[in-house]
Amino acid sequence: LEDADLDETVKTAVMSRYLNTGQSCIAAKRFIVVDAIAEDFVSRFRAGVEALQPGDPTAEATTLAPMARTDLRDELHKQVVDSIEAGAVAVTGCAIPDQAGAWYPASILDRVEPGMRAWHEELFGPVAIVIRARDEADAIRIANDSPYGLGGSIWTGDRERGERLARQMESGSTFVNGLVKSDPRLPFGGIKNSGYGRELSHHGIHEFVNAKTIWMK
């Protein structure tokens, strides 16, 4: 949102999207940004993304590793290409490098809109999706216009505003000014096509408990 700390937001956005090369169920996928700060966010985000260092996953200096398999990389690229052909803007990356292995560059697609594959499909790899919203109400509408609902985060300088919007977001968990992550103390799970039920916390322990029924007449 327009009152968010952009420095902290962008720093966390880069980490939450490209950690594990974006191959995580709770990695940030869609970045919904209000128009008032969209250009500034995209500019800073691009700088952070282009600073990532591809390389050997075991090397200390590496901040972007290859994907798990080439077929997964190829499917991701097809989603990207189809979205660009439908009108999305390639800000950086978005091309398969000429080298062996399942490499794909840290990429950003901007101005993603309904009807594009990147709008409703999960892009499971190092591609960030930027969607522009008019205001907070539009941002929540866009966030909830998804068949998935595992996790989401809201970035704002107003704590009460963050909690109010978090209650409106349709997701199993919503973090305010923090990246989505699992913690043994917190129930974890999704809604919609992201599943049902919870693991972790005391809710998850119930999965390992046998309830005994006795019926008598």
Residue 117 within a domain: yes
Residue 114 within a domain: yes
pLDDT digits (tens, 9 = 90+) for 161-177: 999 999 999 999 999 99
DSSP β-ladder status, 89-92 and 107-110: antiparallel
CATH of the domain at 82: 3.40.309.10
Residue 108 three-state SS = strand
Residue 204 within a domain: no
pLDDT at position 35, please?
A: 99
* pTM score, whole prediction: 0.94
Residue 138 within a domain: yes
Half-sphere exposure of 89 (CA within 13 A, CB side): 9
Residue 18 within a domain: yes
Domains in the chain, number: 1
Residue 11 within a domain: yes
What is d(CA 16, CA 119) in angstroms, rounded to the nearest whole number?
Answer: 19
Residue 16 within a domain: yes
Tell me which residues of the chain have a pLDDT lower than 50: none
Query: Helices H, strands E: what count in the chain?
Result: 7, 8
pLDDT at position 11, please?
A: 98
- Residue 126's domain spans which residues? 6-181
Residue 17 within a domain: yes
